[in-house]
Amino acid sequence: MRGLALLVLYTALSLGANAADLVALKQGDMAKLIVADAPKPLPEVALLDETEAERSLSDYKGKVVLLNFWATWCAPCRKEMPGLDALQAEMGGDDFAVVTIATGRNPVPLITRFFDETGVKHLPKLRDPKQQLAGQMGIVALPVTVILDRNGAEIARLIGDAAWDAPEAKAVIAALIKGPA
């Protein structure tokens, strides 16, 4: 059965899958992926980086973005973060980025320690300390991962942790980067 599932994934990829075709790619942890009926614009909220400088998700426009909400105290986040880091290391670039946002009270020293302990080297240390973005997006549990299209609109959401460096997740990301045929 696993071989058949991978055949479906790669067939969808070869046909130039887009956001609407994500349903066909929902295998493994990606079965938890909730595909939006239509792209949902995100609110404009200032985020903070590790130097306290303000950042914005609009910095990533033009890229497919895997936006992960997490916290230093979150055990499933600790399990998931190395896979997110591996995904960014392998697929990140001009067309794709993994963007992590620590939501709530997560001081920079704790974030740095979390990244060091989990071996994370390729992810940004963005923060949403007052949970403005998380609140406006309806994030009530962690981790939550939201996939954004190249215009910065939400096209899919996964609640809970996932193996983001697994073949199924990479197939979803590759299909979105490729876009429609």
CATH number at residue 118: 3.40.30.10
Identify which has the larger pLDDT, 181 or 8.
181
pLDDT of residue 9: 39
Distance CA 107, CA 12 (A): 42
Q: Structurally, how many domains does the chain consist of?
A: 1
Q: Which of 10-14, 136-140, 141-145, 169-173 has the least mean pLDDT?
A: 10-14
Q: What is the mean pLDDT of the chain?
A: 87
Q: What's the token pair of residue 39?
A: 């792209």
* Mean pLDDT of all residues in 107-133: 97
* Mean pLDDT of all residues in 79-106: 97
pLDDT of residue 129: 96
How does 84-108 read in b/e, with b if 16+ C-beta sit within 10 Å? bbbbbeebbeebbbbbbbbbbebee
pLDDT of residue 28: 83
Q: Centre a 10 Å sphere on the Cβ of residue 16 and count the other Cβ atoms it contains.
A: 12
pLDDT of residue 179: 82
pLDDT of residue 115: 97
Q: Centre a 10 Å sphere on the Cβ of residue 34 and count the other Cβ atoms it contains.
A: 11
Amino acid identity of residue 42, one-letter, is L
Phi, psi of 16 (to 5 degrees): 75, 55
pLDDT of residue 24: 59
Residue 102: domain span = 2-178
* Mean pLDDT of all residues in 117-130: 97
**pLDDT for 121 beyond 60:** yes
Identify which has the larger pLDDT, 2 or 148.
148
